[in-house]
Structure 1
Amino acid sequence: MEKQEQFATHLRKMNLSENTITSYLWTVNYFLAHYDDLSKENLLAYKGYLLEFYKPKTVNLRIQAINKYLEYLKKERLQLKFVKVQQKNFLENVISNADYTFLKNSLKKDENMEWYFVVWYLAATGARVSELVQIKVEHVQAGYFDLYTKGGKLRRLYIPIKLRKETTDWLEETKKTSGFLFLNRFGERITTRGISQQLKNYAEKYGVNPKVVYPHSFRHRFAKNFLDKFNDIALLADLMGHESIETTRIYLRRTASEQQALVDKIVTW
């Protein structure tokens, strides 16, 4: 048990998120509780169990945790190989421009201004939901929000002028002059879970497919629209805070519905 506690301390020194640390510790504790020792045979048996019951992406997350533990113990020779994740050649469950515009306009028509702006900010800034909840009135006034990513790198989240002007008018009407931009009904900063759940509620209310209405879907929409209007993938990678430009390349792919529309239009023979 002492070794696991030392491993936890080691992970915290690496500046990993608490979610990642919790996941790593859970995986290591599960392995140690079910297998006698850290032998190659047991590690391969654990990998076999994972492959039988979990998707490749989850298997790789568990392997990553075990490998990190083996690295900490200086037993790198026992590390497991990752499994190949089959990449789809299209983007799935991304909200279309038509649905995004319809949802946004429906919220405005019903004078539900806070959620109108939630949707607009997600799609016009490319913010992750964890970043969106941190935006303050002061950031709107400045026109940007500076974020420090892992490793202390600075990323600037820009608020486009059209969105900034309309937000300023709304803030004047509501007499909000400082603090977090999006609050819950108790006047406290809204939670990421609260945003996800409420977006699903509005999707159902307005008849939009709930599968495409979730916070990250609007970040995907931002990326797709940006590349359609200004094809600079390096700039987009910077704006989205991607460590590698390879991560951003997925936005060069079309969504499944876009592929279908193009095939329908092109293939007439």
Structure 2
Amino acid sequence: MAMQAYHDWMQAREYSAGTIEKYSRDVERFFRETHAPSVPDKQTVADWRDSLVARGYSAASVNAMLAAVNGYQEFCGNPQGKAKPLKCQRRVFCEAGRELSRAEYFRLLEAARQTGHKRTLLVLQTLCATGIRVSELAYITVEAVRRGRAAIRCKGKCREILLPAQLCKRLERWSKRQHIHAGPVFLTRTGRPLDRVTVWKEMKALCKRAGVAKEKVFPHNLRHLFARTFYHLEKNLAKLADLLGHSSIETTRIYIMESGAEHQRLLEQMHLLL
């Protein structure tokens, strides 16, 4: 009952569907592992946080799970029961094993083309060419394609993005062939907007043929590739933050981190050793 109420509380505050799903899962895990009462005390939350660290979870993962439990405490009217997140120094490079390269992205596109998955091919290009979240895919409508711009609403914020002309032509042709005359361009067989899980599964199905590690292939990595590509062309962090719909530039910085391999290459080029 409490979990359903927490779910409704997050919905009323317009949390994204992905956030609600993750927070619910993390809070359920907290109660399963701690056997805490419905309104936990601060020490129990802090001990659970520390146990996650001891089990080898990264600071970022621990803080993400802790945010869910602290949110639950807010919902319970128990803000004094929240535990402090771990302090993390901002990373200057990302893990190479998780970064999707431009070449790998094009191999995924080619795999989708060769296997005849036209919708998947267009979805991948739409996500990567616009930088939108997969949850925002429903805002790519027939009307938006005709205008060449889409009005995106997510997490209580609105922004307008431009759509590349070539992408608009391809989406317009797709819509006509699928007899979609209004509303979202990407639909399931039952006529519902394409959801995150479906996109995720279709992307994973391309990995073997494309020769790309599954760990690198998920919708949000296309958003990161868009951010890195844009920043290489236009060194304007504030503009990129607006395009991505970020409230904080600090969030945007995460998206443009180079891999550890690139960071190593820069260190070698500095020639500061005798």
Q: Normalised by the size of structure 2, how large is the TM-score? A: 0.78
Aligned to 1:258: 262
Say whether the 8 Å CA contact 2:26–2:68 is kept in structure 1: yes
Structure-1 residue corresponding to 2:131: 126
Q: SS of 2:206's equivalent?
A: helix
Of 229, 248, 253, the residue aligned with 1:249 is 253
Determine if the alignment matches structure 1 residue 202 to structure 2 residue 206.
yes
Q: 2:24 aligns with which of 22, 27, 39?
A: 22
1:237 Cα deviation from its structure 2 partner: 0.4
Unaligned segments of structure 2, at least 5 residues:
none
Please point out which of 40, 43, 55 is paired with 1:53. 55
Amino acid at match of 2:60: K
Cα contact 1:147–1:155 (8 A) shared by 2: yes
1:101 is matched by which residue type in structure 2? F
Cα deviation, 1:164-183, whole Å, max 9, x if unaligned, reads 12322344455543343223
Q: How is 1:114-263 mapped onto 2 (pairs within 5 angstroms)?
A: 114-151=119-156, 153-185=157-189, 188-260=192-264, 262=266
User: What code does the residue aligned with 2:15 have?
Assistant: L
Q: 1:42 to 1:193 in 2, by over 3 A?
A: closer
List runs of 5+ in structure 1 lacking aligned partners. none
RMSD: 3.5
> For residues 5 and 29 of structure 1, do their structure 2 counterparts lie closer, same or farther at Cα, with a shift above 3 Å needed?
farther
| Shift in alpha-carbon separation, 1:21–1:225, aligned structure 2, 3 A | closer
User: Which has the higher Rg, Structure 1 or Structure 2?
Assistant: 1
Give the alignment partner of residue 82 of structure 1, picking from 74, 85, 95: 85
Note the alpha carbon deviations across 1:9-31, whole angstroms, 9 max, x for none. Answer: 65554333432662475367558
Which residue of the other structure, out of 98, 101, 104, is the alignment partner of 1:96? 101
TM-superposed CA distance for 1:225, in Å, is: 0.7
How far apart, in 2, do the equivalents of 1:7 and 1:112 lie? Answer: 39
1:161: Cα distance to partner? 1.2
Is the deviation greater in 29-38 or in 8-17? 29-38
Contact 1:11 1:21 in 2 (8 A): no
d(CA) in 2 for partners of 1:28 and 1:108? 43
Residues 207, 217 of structure 2: 8 Å contact kept: yes
Over 3 Å counting, the alpha-carbon distance change for 1:71 and 1:40 in structure 2 is same
Change in Cα spacing, 1:109 to 1:42, as seen in structure 2 (3 Å) is closer
Q: Which amino acid counterpart does residue 217 of structure 1 have in structure 2?
A: N
Q: Distance in 2 between matches of 1:120 and 1:35?
A: 47
Q: Report the number of matched residues.
A: 267
Separation in 1, partners of 2:201, 2:211: 16
Task: Report the CA distance between 1:97 and its aligned residue.
Answer: 1.5
> Secondary structure in 2 aligned to 1:146?
strand
TM (norm. structure 1) is: 0.79
